Amino acid sequence: MQTPFAFGLPVLGALMLGVLLPGSAKAQSDRMTPVNTPDQPNAIELGTGRLPGAANEEVWHSQYYSLFARNVTVATLTPFLPEPDRATGAAVIVAPGGGFRSLSMENEGWNVAKALNKAGVAAFVLKYRLIQTPPATEEFAAEMDRLFAGAPRSIPSQPDPAQAFAPQIADATAAFALIRRRAGEWKVDPAKVGMIGFSAGAMLTMSTTLHSPEAKPAFIANIYGPLGAMTAPADAPPLFIALAADDPFFANSGYGLIDSWKAAKRPVEFHLYEQGGHGFGMYPKETTSTGWFDAFVAWLRMRGLAR
């Protein structure tokens, strides 16, 4: 099976560097500044255990006026629930990106969840386990600089994602199970639980869809993730895709994923924006890529999942 979401370590490092953000984000600070771990009173441990062999503890930093987590060794899920009178019963697991070495918890996590709540959709931000990195922010930044300096613009072939991303897939699978188990408490329809992922989070979304028989997302969204051709399962969930044409990594890797979904006669919607680069997320910019979220909510509304 061809897979659209495996890439090498240099690209992993480059994907998480904000220097690729276009538009107004260029003016934002790209310096990594250590910060105290924020309070996360509503975070629920998923029970997938500590990352095997992990020696470092979780640390956080700010970059682009946004918060990032690193060295996540214990996976958690944080619920964001809509006002009861607006709730549609739909829920979305939100998987931030960061090259599997950090998580853009604010721009691609909490801010997405809060915006989904306004559309009546319950959201659950997944803080999944990550590849270990140097504890000190300065050492981590230097390591990323070294990786970025040699980052290819093509995506090399990699091992089976089911093995390469096994801990992360286990975290996502546990998130689906937890939401369905507590669906009554959270006023969620167990049959309407989907997943949205950004960059590496998009890779995790696709990997979970293809390699976790238990997850069975009702719908999925791939936001600036790889779009290479693959074999879509006959029961593939409806798929929403957003990508900028000037994305330095995935805009030139083909759009076979769309054809794969169409070949399986499964629903797919694709938005290709002229500009936006990689990692635009919820950052307000002057490029039309800023409209991806409204398009996503409109897609959910069309499917009876949002207000």
Helix axes 292-302, 111-118, angle to 10 degrees: 40
| Overall average pLDDT of the 74-89 stretch | 98
- Rounded to 10 degrees, the C-alpha dihedral 291/295/297/303 comes to 180
Assigned domain for 307 exists: no
Using the predicted structure, report yes or no on whether residue 116 has a pLDDT greater than 90.
yes
Q: Which of 105, 92, 89 is nearest to 39 (CA)?
A: 105
Decide: 77 and 188 in contact? Cβ < 8 Å: no
Assigned domain for 247 exists: yes
Q: Which of 133, 136, 83, 77 is nearest to 105 (CA)?
A: 77
Cα dihedral sign, 260-298-224-255? positive
| Overall average pLDDT of the 181-197 stretch | 98
How, if at all, do strands 122-127 and 91-95 pair?
A: parallel
| Overall average pLDDT of the 85-111 stretch | 98
pLDDT tens per residue, range 175-188: 999 999 999 999 99
**Burial class of 108 by CB neighbour count within 10 A (0 to 12, 13 to 18, 19+):** buried
Assigned domain for 3 exists: no
pLDDT tens per residue, range 257-302: 999 999 999 999 999 999 999 999 999 989 999 999 999 999 999 9
41: Cβ–Cβ under 8 A, 6 or more apart, which residues? none
Residue 244 has which token pair? 């900028």
Assigned domain for 217 exists: yes
Using the predicted structure, report yes or no on whether residue 49 has a pLDDT greater than 60.
yes
Q: Where in the sequence is the domain holding 220, given as residue range(s)?
A: 9-302
| Overall average pLDDT of the 225-230 stretch | 94
- Distances in Å between the Cα of 77 and the Cα atoms of 20, 95, 105 are 28, 10, 12
For a pLDDT cut of 90, what percent of the chain falls above it?
Answer: 80
| Overall average pLDDT of the 92-110 stretch | 97
Assign residue 260 the CATH number of its domain.
Answer: 3.40.50.1820
| Overall average pLDDT of the 99-116 stretch | 97
pLDDT given for residue 158 in this prediction: 54
pLDDT given for residue 1 in this prediction: 38
Considering the chain, what is the average pLDDT of its residues? 90
| Overall average pLDDT of the 162-185 stretch | 97
pLDDT given for residue 253 in this prediction: 80
Count of CB atoms within 10 A of residue 306's CB? 21
**Burial class of 96 by CB neighbour count within 10 A (0 to 12, 13 to 18, 19+):** buried
| Overall average pLDDT of the 214-241 stretch | 97
| Overall average pLDDT of the 191-211 stretch | 98
Q: Is 155 left (phi over 0), alpha (psi -120 to 50) or beta?
A: beta
pLDDT given for residue 146 in this prediction: 82
How many domains does one find in the chain? Answer: 1
pLDDT given for residue 148 in this prediction: 66
Assigned domain for 1 exists: no
What is the reported pTM?
0.92
In this predicted model, which residue has the larger pLDDT, 158 or 93? 93
Using the predicted structure, report yes or no on whether residue 17 has a pLDDT greater than 50.
no
pLDDT given for residue 152 in this prediction: 52
pLDDT given for residue 50 in this prediction: 97
Assigned domain for 250 exists: yes
In this predicted model, which residue has the larger pLDDT, 162 or 14? 162
